[in-house]
């Protein structure tokens, strides 16, 4: 048993060691990891070259469509908004709401951060709000920590639900007759504690003490309720694609309205002193597009995805029928791979980006240039996910996942659900990606659930929820935050400040997961 577990864990151990001890990039580490997995499948598990090749190909295609297309679509829309100036208008609008640091931190670190996570993901939810906060006069390190913590509740649904969709596909739930909502609903339920706690922690960090909540308790509570209620409702009844985005939009509107209407003296220690007043004055002197135009690409994304969802059955059924289903793996127990060619979030994101960009004044040349630039800039990120999904597929077909599951069950027994979120947290800490963490361990969690006679969606949801907490201390996330606030080299300080909150969040998730199984 021990030898089988050691052999099965080699690919995962390589990813952890290569990216933490050797500081290798995810692209290189996962590429080599795929080679290691393929060699092990051939030498140890008796798979043929054709089986290894077709198994890896199945994983690669599953990663490219729909995961890769969503990743490219998300960044295309965001980068095009930068090119047209739409994102600058959004930033200026948000920065002008309140002179209270606590309110500004809620707007940027919580509401806008979650919006960027829902729409784009992949680091934008930390880098962009943190840079905006520094421009408004916040301490750089505090800005990074606030945005990392604010981002800790939503990465499982980032980039139009990519991690949850990836977990669903990797776990093989479609073949089991389990729909997507059956996974997104428990994931959002497990994240309730983090969603409730994070805004209060943000305000606490602004003032350095819980006393900072005095005077802003109502708006903090509103930021929680206005986000989590729609977040849960959408994920439980519609699906994972827009749960964070809609929750963030509603929360943003509610907090902005309350922030503008708030009256009374702001304590001096919480007054906002903007550093970039000269730059802001210069920017305001330039002709800018309207706020409505600035938001159009993101509004269209919401309209398109909701309009083609199960909320509109005729459209959903018609578009859903335009798909192909194939079997690629040339071995036993081959899974069927489905490609929905139109009704997939990535396609809608590209369409929304093109229409929105044209409305904002972009030319056809601008659209083409940004499309090419996005592919050049992010192809390695997509390739990394391709490698990881291919590794996961090969490990599944070779039986490595089953061996790992047997080992963990033998080691922990019925206590395993308590550590299920930690597995996801480790995956995200290592890879820096909730998507990658979901892909790495979704099948493992499903196997263990079968052995323990637990609902598999619960453990896969716990894995996804754990990944959201692990992301706040991931070296990649912290490095991106440090670069955005121009304090490269301060990674250690940022990690030290976020570590205790990460531990607390994981403990909350572990307890909730275990109690959920018992009940």
β-partners of residue 327 are: 336
Q: What is the mean pLDDT of the chain?
A: 86
Q: Which pTM does this prediction carry?
A: 0.76
pLDDT at position 393 over 50: yes
Q: Helix crossing, 364-398 with 69-84: angle to 10°?
A: 150
pLDDT at position 256 over 80: yes
- Distance separating alpha carbons of residues 349 and 80, to the nearest angstrom: 12
Q: Which residues contact 280 (CB under 8 A, 6 or more apart)?
A: 92, 95, 274
* Per-residue pLDDT tens over the stretch 290-341: 989 998 988 898 788 778 876 788 998 899 899 999 999 999 888 788 888 9
- Distance separating alpha carbons of residues 238 and 242, to the nearest angstrom: 8
pLDDT at 384: 81
pLDDT at position 477 over 90: no
pLDDT at 404: 79
Of 87, 82, 70, 67, which Cα lies nearest the Cα of 369? 82
- Distance separating alpha carbons of residues 303 and 287, to the nearest angstrom: 28
Between 84 and 482, the more confident residue is 84
Distance linking the first and last C-alpha atoms of the chain: 32
pLDDT at 199: 95
pLDDT band at 52 (very low <50, low <70, confident <90, very high): very high
- Distance separating alpha carbons of residues 392 and 379, to the nearest angstrom: 20
pLDDT at position 516 over 50: yes
Q: Which residues contact 401 (CB under 8 A, 6 or more apart)?
A: 8, 392, 395, 443, 444, 447
Average pLDDT value for residue range 441-450: 90
| Residue 324: its H or E element | strand 323-327
pLDDT at position 284 over 80: no
Average pLDDT value for residue range 96-120: 87
pLDDT at 200: 96
| Residue 199: its H or E element | helix 192-207
The beta-strand segments (E) located in 329-466 are 336-340
**Residue whose pair of structure tokens reads 């699906």 in the numeric block:** 239
Q: Any idea what DSSP says for residue 110?
A: I
pLDDT at 188: 95
Q: Extract the tokens encoding 144.
A: 């990074």
* Per-residue pLDDT tens over the stretch 145-188: 999 999 888 899 988 888 999 899 888 898 899 999 999 999 99
pLDDT band at 61 (very low <50, low <70, confident <90, very high): very high
pLDDT at 480: 65
Q: What is the dihedral of CA 145, 166, 387, 326, to 10 degrees?
A: -170
* Per-residue pLDDT tens over the stretch 66-93: 778 877 887 788 889 889 998 888 878 7
* Per-residue pLDDT tens over the stretch 189-217: 999 999 999 999 999 999 888 899 988 99
Average pLDDT value for residue range 130-140: 80
Percent of the chain with pLDDT over 90: 40
Q: Extract the tokens encoding 354.
A: 């093109």
The answer to whether the CB of 471 falls within 8 A of the CB of 432 is: yes
Percent of the chain with pLDDT over 70: 91
- Distance separating alpha carbons of residues 494 and 80, to the nearest angstrom: 30
Average pLDDT value for residue range 244-261: 91
Average pLDDT value for residue range 111-127: 80
Q: Extract the tokens encoding 239.
A: 């699906």
Measured over all CA atoms, what is the biggest interatomic distance in the chain, rounded to whole angstroms? 73
Of 130, 141, 10, 250, which Cα lies nearest the Cα of 487? 141
The beta-strand segments (E) located in 350-400 are none
């Amino acid at each position: 048993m021990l030898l089988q577990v050691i052999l099965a864990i080699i690919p995962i151990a390589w990813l952890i060691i290569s990216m933490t001890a050797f500081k290798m990039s995810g692209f290189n580490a996962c590429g080599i990891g795929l080679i290691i997995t393929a060699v092990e499948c051939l030498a140890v598990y008796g798979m043929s070259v054709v089986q290894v090749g077709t198994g890896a190909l199945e994983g690669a295609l599953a990663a490219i469509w729909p995961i890769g297309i969503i990743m490219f679509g998300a960044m295309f829309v965001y980068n095009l908004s930068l090119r047209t100036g739409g994102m600058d208008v959004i930033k200026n609008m948000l920065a002008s709401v309140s002179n209270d640091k606590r309110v500004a931190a809620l707007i940027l670190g919580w509401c806008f951060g979650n919006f960027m996570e829902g729409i784009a993901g992949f680091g934008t939810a930390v880098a962009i709000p943190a840079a905006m906060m520094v421009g408004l006069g916040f301490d750089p390190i505090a800005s990074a920590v606030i945005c990392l913590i604010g981002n800790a509740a939503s990465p499982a649904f980032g980039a139009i639900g990519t991690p949850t969709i990836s977990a669903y596909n990797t776990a093989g739930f479609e073949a089991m007759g389990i729909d997507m909502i059956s996974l997104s609903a428990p994931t959002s339920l497990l994240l309730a504690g983090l969603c409730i706690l994070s805004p209060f922690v943000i305000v606490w960090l602004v003032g350095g003490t819980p006393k900072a909540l005095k005077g802003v308790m109502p708006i903090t509570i509103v930021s929680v309720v206005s986000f989590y209620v729609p977040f849960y409702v959408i994920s439980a009844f519609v699906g994972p694609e827009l749960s964070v985005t809609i929750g963030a939009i509603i929360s943003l509107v509610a907090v902005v309205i309350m922030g503008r209407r708030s009256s009374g003296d702001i304590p001096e220690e919480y007054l906002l002193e903007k550093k970039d007043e000269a730059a802001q004055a210069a920017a305001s002197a330039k002709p800018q597009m309207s706020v409505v135009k600035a938001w159009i690409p993101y509004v269209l994304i919401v309209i398109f995805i909701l309009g083609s969802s199960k909320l509109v059955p005729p459209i959903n059924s018609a578009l859903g029928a335009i798909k192909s289903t194939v079997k690629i793996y040339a071995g036993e127990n081959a899974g069927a791979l489905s490609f929905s060619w139109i009704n997939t979030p990535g396609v809608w994101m590209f369409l929304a980006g093109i229409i929105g960009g044209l409305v904002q004044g972009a030319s056809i040349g601008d659209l083409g240039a940004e499309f090419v630039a996005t592919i050049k800039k992010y192809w390695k990120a997509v390739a990394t996910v391709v490698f990881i999904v291919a590794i996961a597929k090969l490990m599944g077909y070779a039986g490595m996942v089953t061996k790992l599951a047997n080992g963990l069950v033998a080691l922990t027994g019925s206590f395993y659900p308590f550590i299920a979120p930690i597995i996801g947290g480790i995956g995200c800490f290592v890879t820096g990606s909730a998507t990658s963490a979901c892909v790495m361990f979704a099948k493992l969690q499903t196997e263990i659930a079968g052995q323990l006679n637990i609902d598999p969606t619960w453990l896969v949801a716990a894995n996804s929820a754990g990944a959201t907490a692990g992301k706040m201390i991931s070296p990649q996330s912290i490095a991106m935050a440090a670069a955005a606030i121009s304090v490269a080299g301060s990674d250690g300080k940022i990690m030290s400040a976020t570590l205790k909150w990460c531990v607390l969040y994981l403990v909350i998730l572990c307890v909730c997961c275990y109690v959920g199984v018992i009940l």
